[in-house]
Amino acid sequence: MSTLSVADLLDARDSFEQVSGSAQALGSRLLRHEPITRLNAICPYYTMFPLEFPWRVLGDAKDDDWVLDPFCGRGTTLFAARLRRLASVGVDVNPVAVTLARAKLVKVGPDWVIRRCRELLHGGYEPKEVPSGEFWQQCFHEQTLLDVCRLREQLLTLPDTPVVVILRALLLGVLHGPVRKGAPSYLSNQMPRTYATKPAAAIRYWTAQDLKPPHVDVLDVVRRRARYSLIDTPPAASGRVHVGEAASVVTSLSQRFRWVITSPPYYGMRTYLPDQWLRAWFLGGPPSVEYSVKGQLEQHSEEAFVEGLAKVWQAVGSRCVPGARLVLRFGALPSQAKNPTKLLIRSLVAARAGWEIDAVVPAGTPPRGTRQADQFGADAGEYVEEVDLYATLVP
């Protein structure tokens, strides 16, 4: 492990900023507007880094390199690897994240998805369980809720063919979101796109604003979203996405990795699973919020958090080839006032896995809508500057 101080590491920023070069910067700007990248945004999700970040890092990867993301979230690293025609593996404890990430590895045309959705909606199937209560009455129009339940129950029993994988992820993306003028883009009453409001708070808001759930044609929403998101997708990629705790899953993998690109959960973030409760219900969970932290990094103390991260870096090191690159984007919640660089370095030192830190580069303050802390809304205060840490596995 490097004995460089934090100050020494930060001094290396200039050399790393020059690595991208003008050609890489131009490629990143073009990447944002290409239809081929729309699949990556098939479902809004509050924990993500921009696609340009892993795309740039993987610019030096060779054709047979494998890429790993042990905290893969919605699968942005996996999609960047796919664009580079690299095989990848993702791991996440959240079934919602895993469902979205799996969609980043398959290729399906929009017409196939639309056709399958039509068959499921109009094939005569009647849902066996339709949630009741004030929240469900105010969140979805009665007919829309029936259609949502009809799709939910059938998708829970179908094998994971590419069409089903994409349709499932697409439906998660339109399940809830804002109500706007014109043709609806989401199926619910007024709600955030990235996370689901808790029932009591949602009811209070809808009642105070006198908001009624609109009748939404589910097939029409799916049709428009599929034709937008799947207009042009890259070739399907090799790889898998596993649901589970990062260290134990990574240890069990058979692949050997040369690139590890990830963004660990920020210290103090305990609500990944509860905040996705409505999407979790669509995937077979209960029709209520479960305040579970099962499988997540320990958050009850800074020491436990660092120890949990260290176990992940140790497991990752055991599955990487000598000379593998580890690239981490990390930040902190304003409420915790922690130094993200120090937390990362402590965890890598504790891992004793042979990770030699090359540099820590300020990544700036993340744009609104891409922060792990966005779910806290306007009261979160100023956001802590994120950092990118680069390390190499030394035998």
**Which residues belong to CATH 3.40.50.150 in the chain?**
6-105+240-393
Name the percent of the chain lying above pLDDT 90: 73
Q: Give the residue, 23 or 85, on which the prediction is more confident.
A: 85
Fold designation for 6-105+240-393 = Rossmann fold (3.40.50)
- Which DSSP state fits 264? P
234 pLDDT exceeds 60? yes
- pLDDT, position 309: 96
Q: Is the pTM of this model over 0.75?
A: yes
Handedness of CA 264, 270, 273, 276 (dihedral sign): negative
What does the DSSP assignment read for 173-205?
A: HHSSB---SSS-SSSSSB--SSSPPPHHHHHHH
Q: What is the pLDDT of residues 53-112, one digit of tens each?
A: 999 999 999 999 999 999 999 999 999 999 999 999 999 999 999 999 999 999 999 999
Q: How far apart are the first and last CA of the chain?
A: 11
What does the DSSP assignment read for 7-20?
A: HHHHTTHHHHHHHH
pLDDT band at 379 (very low <50, low <70, confident <90, very high): very low
Region label for 124, one of left (φ > 0), alpha (ψ between -120 and 50) or beta (otherwise): left
- pLDDT, position 26: 44
- pLDDT, position 338: 72
Q: What is the pLDDT of residues 127-171, one digit of tens each?
A: 999 999 999 999 999 999 999 999 999 999 999 999 999 999 999
Phi, psi of 363, rounded to the nearest 5 degrees: -100, 0
- How many whole angstroms separate alpha carbon 27 and alpha carbon 247? 34
Q: What is the mean pLDDT of the chain?
A: 87
203 pLDDT exceeds 70? yes
264 pLDDT exceeds 60? yes
Q: What is the pLDDT of residues 298-328, one digit of tens each?
A: 667 889 999 999 999 999 999 999 999 999 9
- pLDDT, position 46: 75
- How many whole angstroms separate alpha carbon 332 and alpha carbon 265? 9
- How many whole angstroms separate alpha carbon 307 and alpha carbon 312? 9
Quick one: which of 74, 84, 67, 80 has its CA closest to 48? Answer: 74
- pLDDT, position 315: 98
- How many whole angstroms separate alpha carbon 23 and alpha carbon 5? 32
